[in-house]
Amino acid sequence: MKIAVFALQGAFAEHRQMLHRLGAETFEVRQLKDWQQSKDGVILPGGESTVQMRLLRELGLFEPLRQEILQGLPVFGTCAGMILLSEGYLETMDMRVRRNAYGRQLGSFHTFGSVEGVGDELPMTFIRAPFIEEVLSDRCEVLARVEGNIVAARQGKQIATAFHPELDDDMRLHQFFLSLCA
């Protein structure tokens, strides 16, 4: 299995390490020619969504990425990656996201929670995290809530989390993503 990991900005190395531990091959996407390789799925990592969006457009990656996701390419977006999948950005998931919903860096926190279809007591690390304000259709299903806020969702072969599973040792979310790619 071969997974593309966007490496324009943000926490991409940790995703690659997690996927390697699970036996998946990965490659970094930094420009359009990287994206043109064959792949079974894609990771959109955390980072700064405004910067990532600008780079997607400047590098000619926005439309190719959007089209492949809409055609069924599995995608896992974490934190900023979740924002990119939402309304007003790539618009591949039917959800509205609030950026920096938990405040600035000082509002970062760690907790444990349940993710539907994945398991209980998953570690959840939130860093200047967003959350999903509203699910806009029944095609987008809520997978997890923390303090009443939606922090994970799935729509078809797309998964989005407000937290960073790549920063903890628990591999269940990445395993779940790889099962969608198989």
Catalytically active residues are: 79, 164, 166
The CA distance from 62 to 32, in Å, is 10
Instruction: Collect all residues with Cβ–Cβ distance below 8 Å to 75 and sequence separation of at least 6.
Output: 41, 42, 43, 44, 69, 85, 92, 157, 158, 159
Contact of 164 with 11, CB cutoff 8 Å: yes
Classify 179 in phi/psi space as left (phi over 0), alpha (psi -120 to 50) or beta: alpha
